[in-house]
A and B are shown apart, each in its own frame.
Chain A
Amino acid sequence: MDLEWMAWTPVTAGFFIAIGGMLVGMGIWQYISPTIERKGFLPIKTTRGDRFFIGLLTSAYINIAWVGLTSWSLWFAVPICIVWLIIVLRFG
């Protein structure tokens, strides 16, 4: 199947594989140990999936802010996003 029209690059392929992998991982985690709604530092009660969504969305905004406000490489924002995602998942 020719996927040239989708204009794939190694970077974007890696990005989607990472997102897909995380979703599958979250699904398996949910199957093994179903989430319990709770309240952390976020102002709403959240399930694990909610916190994952919030973490991903805010990570996207961190990247956008990084590009818009700094001239440094976007790769520096990646570890910040990973740490942020872990904080939201654990304490959110």
Chain B
Amino acid sequence: MEKWDNNNAWFLVLPVFIIVAFSAIIPLMTVVNYSVQDIFGPGERIFVGSEWFKETLANRRLHEALWRQFLFSGLVLLIEMPLGVMIALAMPKRGWGVSFSLVTLALPLLIPWNVIGTIWLIFTRPDIGLFGFIINSMGIAFDHTASPLDAWITLMLMEVWHWTPLVVLLAYAGLRAIPEVYYQAAKIDGASAWATFRYIQLPKMRGVLTIALLLRFMDSFLIYAEPFVLTGGGPGNSTTFLSIYLVKLAVGQFDLGPAAAFSIIYFLIVLALCFVFYQVLQNVGKGERV
């Protein structure tokens, strides 16, 4: 009961609570309110109950966008997590190479997201883009504006280029925090490089990798700006992810009620998956089933 004796620390949390209330809770409440009404304009609305949820859940385009989104996030995690750890392991441990590697790797993270889309839009164009031109010169017909497969390849390349550095930086921070004595003990025991990775580095990186996985999952699941600029959801609907479809619904068609119902379902999916990921990663290696 001692921890309840001094509650002054709660005042330090108060500013954050107020900011979160205004930036997240109040908008979320508004979305819930919109989701049960047909909004015609300011002050003109009709209560429709769960009608928009029923309509949204039966929407085939939403189902397709959802599976597309899962595929995209799954591929992103499958590629970026191991690649990020491998790059972090290969990075120099001391000397000028450390700063050089960190700055070089951090560069894609500093570029605004819509600029990333524009860069790759130009980079992969078959007529003027370096990547598109070279690939087409090799006799491989590559055009992300015409072929869904090419659009997906371009998106994946862009995403991996843009966000793997985040995983690298987090994994590298985790690796640098491991005390030297662990490596010395492993050396004395004659542990192989794999055994050192499996039993020392990987368990010690669990915390940062949890954060990396959660961040990458959430970011990739909520992706909007880059594919919007690069493909606009096309060709056809092949790269129309949930957020792109949501914006089309809310801004393009001004269907605020269905868009709000859609947003709530989207939010619940993200919330549930993040909770499961978090629990699984927190309990891995604790010797208990999760």
Interface residues of A (CB under 8 A from B): 4-9, 11-12, 15-16, 31, 34, 43-45, 53-54, 57, 60-61, 64, 67-68, 74
Contact B47 A11 (CB under 8 A): yes
In the complex, B1 has a CB within 8 A of chain A: yes
Which of B1, B36, B58 interacts with A34 by CB under 8 Å?
B1
Q: How far is the CA of A22 from the CA of B64 in the complex (A)?
A: 37
Q: A7-B39, A9-B36 are in contact. Are A61 and B272 (CB under 8 A)?
A: yes
Q: Which residues of B contact A34 (CB under 8 A)?
A: 1, 4
Contact A4 B42 (CB under 8 A): yes
Q: Which of B27-35, B215-223, B238-246 contacts A (4 or more CB under 8 A)?
A: B27-35
* Size category, B interface: 20 to 34
Looking at chain B's contact residues, the main secondary structure is helix
Looking at chain A's contact residues, the main secondary structure is helix
Contact B57 A64 (CB under 8 A): yes
In the complex, B285 has a CB within 8 A of chain A: no
Q: A43-B290, A61-B268, A61-B272 are in contact. Are A6 and B53 (CB under 8 A)?
A: no
Q: Which residues of B contact A12 (CB under 8 A)?
A: 29, 32-33, 36
CB within 8 Å of A: which B246-290 residues = 265, 268, 271-272, 275, 279, 283, 288-290
Contact A9 B57 (CB under 8 A): no
Question: In angstroms, how far is the closest chain A Cβ from the Cβ of B89?
Answer: 31
Q: How far is the CA of A45 from the CA of B279 in the complex (A)?
A: 10
Question: In angstroms, how far is the closest chain A Cβ from the Cβ of B40?
Answer: 11
Top 10 closest pairs, chain A to chain B, by CB: A68-B57, A7-B33, A67-B53, A6-B30, A12-B33, A67-B50, A74-B50, A44-B279, A67-B54, A60-B268
Q: Which residues of A contact B39 (CB under 8 A)?
A: 7
Q: Which of B33, B34, B265, B271 has the most CB of A within 10 A?
A: B33
Q: Which residues of A contact B4 (CB under 8 A)?
A: 31, 34
In the complex, B79 has a CB within 8 A of chain A: no
Complex A-B: 18 CB contacts under 8 Å: A4-B43, A5-B42, A6-B30, A7-B34, A7-B37, A7-B45, A12-B32, A43-B290, A44-B283, A44-B290, A45-B288, A53-B275, A57-B272, A60-B268, A61-B268, A61-B272, A68-B58, A74-B50
Q: Which residues of B contact A11 (CB under 8 A)?
A: 36, 47, 49
Q: Which residues of A contact B45 (CB under 8 A)?
A: 7
Contact B290 A64 (CB under 8 A): no
Which of B26, B30, B47, B268 interacts with A64 by CB under 8 Å?
B268
